[in-house]
Structure 1
Amino acid sequence: MASITSVELNYLIFRYLQESGFTHSAFAFGYEACINKCQIDGSLVPPGALVTFVQKGLQYLEMEANLSNADSDVDEDYLFLQPLDLITKDVYELRRTIKERRKNELKKTKEKELDKQREEAHGLVKDREKQVRKREREKETERTEEKPREKEHSYHNDKEVDTNHEDQKNVRNEENGVSGEPMEISTTSTSQIVELTSCDVTILEGHTSEVCACAWSPSGSLLASGSGDSTARIWRIGDGTNQSSSQNGPAGEIVLLHVKAKTNEKSKDVTAIDWNIDGTLLATGSYDGQARIWSTDGELKSTLTRHKGPIFSLKWNKKCDYIVTGSCDKTAVVWDVKTEGFKQQFEFHSGPILDVDWRNNVSFATSSTDHMIYVCKIGETSPIKTFSDHQGEVNCLKWDPTGTLLASCSDDVTAKIWSLKQDKCVHDFKEHDKEIYTIRWSPTGPGTNNPNLPLLLASASFDSTVKLWDVEQGRLLCSLTGHREPVYSVAFSPNGEYLASGSLDKSVLIWSLKESKIIKRYTGNGGIFEVCWNKEGDKIAACFANNVVCVLDFRR
């Protein structure tokens, strides 16, 4: 009698099962696993194993039917199983295996998406840095080629030298429907400027990287700062003699860590900070995509997690029940502060969101690198208004004190004023020569504590100027030309009579708007990213690229 090998016998059994109708892939996988095992040790497939793999195949058919009823993608479920799983696990274990492996795969996918978002954000930041360096090189070239002006030149002589330039501006004003000549404020005469030194300011030291944001608490004497060193800090500013914080500085400095202590996590820059209206809570946005809420004593009250990319902007509404955040992941999220969870996510933009600002307690505006502005409302799934006239990245937007007009500024070298009552912009300001980085409304006019003063808009640009606009008439009032490098920040005093500006030329300038001149100047050792006034209007804070925050006493 002829003999057959174990492999041949196994194959005969396999063919018999196929011809008997056991053609489903579950049976094939199970029997394949049995054959592979037996081929290793040269044995026959045990009868018990044959029964087992048939039972497992039937169980898998049952599981597949259940999965199909649950609207699952059965073909994808096969990908999470190995042949050996079918002969070693029952149907319940198979389901658990699929669930766990799908969860792990989803986690890997999310991690890849987050890494991609971080790379995009990093690229965006690097592009900004390249733009700044490019501006610095251009300004350095201009200074090298330009003949130095004689110090004895008067303001009027400078005006005569710049006649052609003014004529060109007047032509542009006429084209824009603007009447009258804007005033160009020159800084040639420095006899009346008070030059502040490091002895005249409080220097807050402690950050180990550039300080990109600062904000005074609406109550008390607390100042918050955010840095690239993965911390925010709360400083208690006294009313005594100003000294360096390394000597007799403010007591009670509180460090808000945005990474776990004693870890080697990558830097999570604090990119945005904002106090609630009564100054009891501080919200921070970070490069890690998380928003955090802190008490004034440094306690972390809640961590808000939903974004898949860095947060670039963050704001409380006036009622202090919601926070809105804008992220590099192209979405804005409204957070419910009481429940510590997200209220709604808005996914309208096709590029990273650069700024957000509340109109009232339930609606807000967003701007993006995609050149678009959307006005959103909680509960609505579509924008309630869309503005699309900008031709470049929209860097900043702000609602006026009454929530009637929206101002925006862009890399397209324009600032625009919008109204919900019309689709096109109300005013289109084109007097700047380079990108406009930020804008601020004055605390004057209707809806403010200074209703008898006119409402103004200030814009700061990479062309080294700050410009003031009469919004009611839609014209340029004056151009402030004291800086030598891009201006990153401007802030009005609470009474609307003064303006502070900070620039990459390392100087803070304080302007008297009534007299149209610079009255104080402080020059530090790094570029300035933000300036802000306290509520009393007697102190100005400025955050610097050389890791410090400086507080200027306006009364000195």
Structure 2
Amino acid sequence: MVQGKGNHRFVSGAEEKVVRVFEAPLSFLKTLRHTCAGGEGSFPEELQADVQVLGANMSALGLSQKPIYLHSSSEPLERNGGGEGLDTFETVPEAAPAELKEPPIEDQLAFHTLWPESHKLYGHGNELFSLCCDHNGSLIASSCKAQSAAMAEIWLWEVGTWKAVCRLQSHSLTVTHLEFSYDDTLLLSVCRDRHFSVFSIQRTDSGEVSHKLMAKVEAHKRIIWACSWNPFGHQFATSSRDKTVKIWSIEKDARIKQVLALPQFGSSVTAVAWTGLDHEEKSGCIAVGMESGLIELWNIKIKETEEEGTTATAALALRMEPFMCHVSAVNRLAWRPTEKSESNQSLLRLTSCGDDNCVRVFDFKF
């Protein structure tokens, strides 16, 4: 998902070489708002100004769809600057965003709820493998399958103009996971070549983006599958096929330091996600997903001192029952912090997806 206020877009990659951008039409957002609010309230006017797509225009054969923009005309457009006898584009139906308050028919589904594809981003030479967006909603990072350093480049795209602004070089094989730090100043990448890389991302006042490779470290003995940043600082976790999860810290002198290694797990660790619990105590929780389908939660405490630098401690918080987990490899984990409950406990939501074609959603109280 492209984050940031006013963004109702997502980028998608698949076993093709193209990154595709999809935008939510105003009809979909109004219907979603109506459904979530129980029929009360309307879509905020200040957000409505940011939505440019009114709907999707399906072609006669239904093989493609085009976004209908707020500023587009319903008049037919003529090819080659006009002239009689020339073919014309299909006329765009009058876009009238509507809230759907009852089960829609097929035409309404196609026009009012379909997210049209607004852009295609070309550049990668092989099938897409990883995508991520920064927290400000201004940059997209992408990587593809690679067997050489040239193919293993990480591309940075600017949201809005959708131009490629940087190509980051560090790895020699497929970059398996990308993630921006929570302050958007650093980009972390992990790779099949057993290394992770940390890039510094700078933005000038004119909007230009520059980058610098801060560090490249051989972190594990096997493929590194996933990584995750600490929401409260410049610490991050990496997980690998060697059945380990390691915690790293970027010290004040820009040196990378390993501060902790969790006890070895029973199988390859294919997914990891870090969420914050207490900002003052620098405590958090790391969810660990394995190739066996099992999921564990570990409490992490970060301590920073002048003498020792950054140190960390970990304790097993929960080993989830196998019947609640997946029956094959966990592909991705993601946290969504929620508000505190009546008992002043933190309510956290974890979503997991696996090779068993299941998505599971868990709620935890800490």
Q: When the two structures are superposed, what TM-score results if normalisation uses the length of structure 2?
A: 0.55
Shift of 1:512: 1.6
1:417 partner amino acid = I
**Distance between the aligned counterparts of 2:192 and 2:261, measured in 1?**
29
2:331 matches 1:491: no
Q: How does 1:122-161 map to 2 (within 5 A)?
A: none
Question: Do 2:284 and 2:300's aligned partners in 1 also have CA atoms closer than 8 Å?
Answer: yes
Equivalent residues in 2 for 1:453-532, closer than 5 Å: 455-472=284-301, 474-480=314-320, 481=322, 482=324, 483-495=326-338, 497-514=348-365
Q: Give the equivalent residue in structure 1 for 2:18.
A: 231
Which residue pairs with 1:254 in the alignment?
Answer: 118
1:144 matched residue in structure 2: none
Distance 1:236 1:423, change over 3 A: closer
1:272 Cα offset (Å): 2.8
Give yes or no for contact 1:405–1:417 (8 Å, CA) kept in 2: yes
Contact in 2 for aligned 1:234/1:253 (Cα 8 Å): yes
**Corresponding residue for residue 40 of structure 1:** none
Question: Residues 280 and 471 (structure 1 numbering): CA distance in 2 closer, same or farther, change over 3 Å?
Answer: closer
Amino acid at match of 1:438: A
CA distance in 1 between counterparts of 2:192 and 2:244 reads 23
- Write the deviation string for residues 262-304 of structure 1: whole angstroms up to 9, x where unpaired: xxxx952223323233213333334434444444446325353
Per the alignment, residue 75 of structure 2 pairs with none
Query: Which one has a larger percent helix, Structure 1 or Structure 2?
Result: 1
**Residues 256 and 298 of structure 1 are in contact (CA less than 8 Å); yes or no, is this contact kept in structure 2?**
no
1:477 positional shift? 1.8
2:263 corresponds to which of 414, 422, 429: 429
Residue of structure 2 in register with 1:398 after alignment:
228
| Shift in alpha-carbon separation, 1:235–1:471, aligned structure 2, 3 A | same
Distance (Å, rounded) in 2 between the aligned partners of 1:459 and 1:398: 11
After superposition, the C-alpha distances for 1:483-541 in whole angstroms (9 at most, x for unaligned) are: 111111111113252111000000000112139xxxxxxxxxxxxxxxxxxxxxxxxxx
Q: For 1:35-54, what aligned pairs fall within 5 Å after superposition?
A: none
Q: Deviations 1:8-58 (Å, cap 9, x if unpaired)?
A: xxxxxxxxxxxxxxxxxxxxxxxxxxxxxxxxxxxxxxxxxxxxxxxxxxx
CA distance in 2, matches of 1:321, 1:274: 14
Q: Which amino acid in the other structure matches residue 463 of structure 1?
A: S
For the 8 Å contact 2:191–2:224, the answer to whether it is kept is no
Which of 149, 159, 162 in structure 2 is aligned with 1:299? 162
User: Alpha carbons of 1:464 and 1:246: their partners in 2 closer, same or farther (altered >3 Å)?
Assistant: farther
User: Which residue is equivalent to 2:9?
Assistant: 222
d(CA) in 1 for partners of 2:237, 2:188? 18
Alignment correspondent of 1:524: none
Report Cα offsets for 1:248-272 as digits up to 9, x if no partner.
Answer: 533442232325xxxxxx9522233
Which of 116, 139, 148 does residue 281 from structure 1 map onto?
139
C-alpha change, 1:323 and 1:460, in structure 2 (3 Å) is: closer
**Structure 2 residue identity aligned to 1:256:** K
Assess if the C-alpha contact under 8 Å between 1:217 and 1:224 holds in 2.
no
**Which is greater in Rg?**
1
Are the structure 2 counterparts of residues 347 and 216 from structure 1 closer, same or farther at C-alpha, using a change threshold of 3 Å?
Answer: closer
Give identity over the alignment, percent: 15
1:498–1:461: structure 2 CA closer, same or farther, 3 Å change rule? same
Unaligned runs of 5+ in 1: 1-214, 260-265, 350-371, 374-389, 516-556
- Aligned-pair Cα RMSD in Å: 4.0
Change (3 A) 1:504 1:279: same
> Hey, which of these two has a bigger chunk of strand by percent?
2
CA contact (8 A) 2:129 2:144 kept: yes
Matches within 5 A, 1:363-382: 372-373=218-219
**How many residues end up aligned between the 2 structures?**
252
Where do 5+ consecutive residues of structure 2 fail to align? 33-102, 146-150, 302-312, 339-346
Residue aligning to 2:59: none
The Cα offsets for residues 99-124 of structure 1, whole Å up to 9 and x where unpaired, read as xxxxxxxxxxxxxxxxxxxxxxxxxx
TM-score of the two chains, using structure 1 as the length reference: 0.38
* Structure possessing the higher relative contact order (Cα contacts under 8 Å, 6 or more residues apart): 1
